[in-house]
Amino acid sequence: MPQLNPNPWFSIMIMSWLTFSLLIQPKVLAFTPTNTPLNKTPTTTKNNPWTWPWS
């Protein structure tokens, strides 16, 4: 059964994860977001009780 032979696929998986974690991920994480969140004060909403017509 060739799918149980990890010889070619294990090295491909390790090389792809090393490429991602060592090269691509630091470049992606270095980007600064364009829309930084603002420090807003939370607004409180007034809750009105619902009047049910049948009660």
- The reported pTM is 0.46
pLDDT for 3 equals: 67
Tokens in use for 9? Answer: 């696929």
Give dist(CA 31, CA 18) in Å, integer: 20
Give dist(CA 31, CA 38) in Å, integer: 19
Give dist(CA 17, CA 50) in Å, integer: 56
Give dist(CA 27, CA 20) in Å, integer: 10
pLDDT for 14 equals: 93
Give dist(CA 4, CA 44) in Å, integer: 60
Backbone phi and psi for residue 38, each to the nearest 5 degrees, phi listed first? -90, 150
